[in-house]
Structure 1
Amino acid sequence: MIAFVVAAIFLLLFGAGVLRDRRRFGNAVYLGLAVTFLGLGLLAEIDAAPPGISETVMILVLLVLGLGPVVLAVLLCANGVKMVRKEGRRPANLLSLLAGLGMFGVMGLMVAAAVTHSEALGLIAVTTLLVVGYVSFLFLCFVGYAYLYGRMRLRRDADYVVVLGSGLIGGRRVPPLLASRLDRGRQVYETLAARGGDAPVLITSGGQGPDEALPESHAMADYLVERGFPAGAVVREDRSRTTEENMLFSKELMERDRPGSSCVIVTNNFHAFRAALMARRAGVDGQVVGSPTAAYFWPSATMREFVAVFLQYKVVNLGICTALILLGVLAWFVR
């Protein structure tokens, strides 16, 4: 019963947080805690279920806990190999492979501790599980809320559509990843234009990298205009080098021409929630929507986004991880 009350409290906090500002990581944590305590409450009440149901549920839970990590580790390793084959061996493309291998490593540590009956290995395994459990909980919160955020209704009062840039092929051409953002941005523009009143303005945001022949925003604008988009409805923001600068420099353009305006920001779906967090920090009044991404690209990209958000709150997160490790060290000395 207590678990249900706690779940209800966190659910209320989640609802209040969403009403206050959808672009807060705290909303993801509140939702994760609400679901966790709800699950604990349901498991605690399983004995009261009709005969046969409680046994079936417990078997399913044990199967998920026992086989789930193994299956997930295999899938992550397979995805990591595919990423390397399709996208190259850049560190960012190795994340899913490293995550899968890391899971196998943790499972191997647990097996070694159980087989050897080593007190030291057992303590290391428990401490590792605590740290991995904390990080995994935050990751699930991030993924779950990012999924919900990406399906929130498109705002209809926006004055601008801001499409975030990415790298160019050969320093000149728009790659498929960026093309999907531009196509989605055009759809959002047409939706807003159909509402009546003043037509929105589309901002292509992206500066010129050291290996690029022209600013990304210019290549993006050319892509749209060549496909029939009205040239007069495009504004180029060509100074930014990072997502944070995309937000800040686009905000300058919006405030210069339409003070107090709002916008819809377009990026790829795996990047939408982190971009929303950045928009909030930059003081941009904008909702972020995502464009489709190839399925094989999603796991590594999502992990990269999570790592960036995790480190954005590094004082709290690294502090908690350090505290868990110190707890394991203290347990070793007082055993």
Structure 2
Amino acid sequence: MALLVCCLFALIVKNIVCSGDNELYKYANQTDPATEQLVEFAKEHPQDSAPGHKARSMQEAKGLEQGLENLPDDVAQEISARDPDYYNRDLYNAIENKSYPAWELEMDVLTFENIKNINYNKFDVTRLWKKDTYIRMKVSRLIFNKNPDNMFRVSELSAFNPGNLVPGITGPVDTFFRSRRSSYRETQLYRLGANHNRINVNVPWHWNVYDRDGPPPVKGNMKDAPNYYPNSFHGPVPYVDPIRPKERFLVYEANVVDLEPVNYFFNHILDCEQRERLLNNTIPTLLPVSPKLRRRAIRLFTLSDPILGKKLTEGLERALRMPLPPSPEVLKAPSYQQENQ
């Protein structure tokens, strides 16, 4: 269940699109000297420091109930330089003050007929599903209502496994997911031992297995129940879904569609302001690389969308013509001989 909640949460966060305005420093600790100057900066430059956004999903369904807030790159650098713990404290204080962050958990569903008729690879983990090709269903609500009192007990001992799926959810067919279904359990056996599912943070609501013995915590260790299957003592039996589809999906696609998701995201998901931020954040990442790699990157962006490639080229040319910033002053410590003179 914990895995299902986390997967759904990741799915909703992935599909969030930003719009609207919100207060940036809602939970800021203004008495802290490290953030006081940033709060004053936000008051003096509201347009530059608070481009926050209320969240809406790809089909106008709610996601983050408290709103989604974004920072421009220069303000984010300012915060990280002056106050590296700003966001950790922001989340901690919000929970302590009972302003609990909350999310509506939703699931995007495709029917088998939809899957057959969609003109893109819906099992590609690197792309967003196109609008109007799926059904969105509300599943539950996720609330952060308690700060951990011991990080090791509630975090380091946790074990989320994509192989732990409830009946009715078989998981996607992509190799990325299938490899994790097998590898996660192996790492948890090594890290936490054979009885990691009996640690309090990992104990399922309903659990019938034959795992036993090994390192603690073993608790009752299943007492004298049989540890083999099949048996004559009413032990658990494997679950078989009688309505599980027998048909297998084969996905065929050509490399020509590899850049199509980028084009769709740039033109149909992002608004004008978000496209501008994407350009401004991409250009600095291309400055340190060699000219050869820079040309290859620009070519890929241009193949994805000619306008995107053109604007990146123009912005990169302007950035390359700008003089380099002066080197920071380095304070040299006195040598041992100078100290003893």
Asked if Structure 1 and Structure 2 have the same fold, meaning a TM-score greater than 0.5 normalized by the shorter chain, the answer is no
The structure that is helix-richer by fraction is: 1
| TM-score, structure 2 as length reference | 0.26
Structure of higher RCO (CA pairs closer than 8 Å, 6+ residues apart)? 1
Please tell me whether Structure 1 or Structure 2 has the larger radius of gyration of its CA atoms.
Answer: 2
Q: TM-score, normalised by structure 1?
A: 0.27
